[in-house]
């Protein structure tokens, strides 16, 4: 069975609790990962979530939220098997697809959560 391992990190200039809220809604999971069935096995609050994964992949996934400076580093980890007997090329394509999808999720959240903040400018005062 081929394995898909994805690691990604993205800095978002908002507190971890804000990012945690974006990942806390199961409806968001279906938008972010429509072909995966996720079940939370560790809800770490403002530090993120850990899931078991079924569906197109079988394994585990985590979003770890690390407070850094005036924002959050979103660490994304996916370690899963690709069911069936895919060849090496198919496994490589799936890994690349999942890497691009992970970055798209992170950059989409960055755009929404930073709400037009210009690069190099800190968050708006509370």
| DSSP states of 30-72 | HHH-TTEEEEEEEE-GGGEEEEEEEESSEEEEEEEEEEETTEE
Q: Work out the angle at residue 61's Cα, subtended by the Cα atoms of residues 56 and 66, and round it to the nearest 5 degrees.
A: 150
Check pLDDT > 80 for residue 119. Answer: no
| Region at 38 (left for phi over 0; alpha for psi -120 to 50; beta for the rest) | beta
Span 29-65, pLDDT tens digits: 999 999 999 999 999 999 999 999 999 999 999 999 9
Per-residue pLDDT at 86: 74
Domains of the chain (ranges, CATH numbers): 2-114 (3.30.530.20)
Q: 28-42, 79-93, 95-109 — which is least confidently predicted?
A: 79-93
Check pLDDT > 90 for residue 76. Answer: yes
For tokens 């996916």, the residue is 78
Tell me, yes or no, if the pTM score tops 0.95. Answer: no
């Amino acid at each position: 069975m081929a394995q898909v391992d994805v690691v990604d990190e993205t800095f978002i200039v908002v507190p971890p609790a804000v990012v945690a809220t974006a990942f806390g809604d199961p409806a968001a999971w279906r938008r972010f990962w429509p072909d995966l069935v996720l079940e939370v096995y560790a809800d770490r609050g403002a530090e993120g979530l850990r899931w078991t994964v079924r569906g197109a992949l079988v394994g585990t996934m985590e979003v770890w939220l690390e407070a850094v400076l005036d924002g959050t580093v979103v660490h994304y980890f996916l370690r899963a098997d690709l069911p069936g007997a895919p060849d090496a090329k198919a496994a490589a394509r799936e890994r690349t697809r999942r890497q691009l999808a992970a970055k798209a999720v992170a950059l989409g959240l960055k755009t929404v959560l930073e709400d037009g903040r210009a690069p190099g400018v800190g968050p708006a005062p509370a």
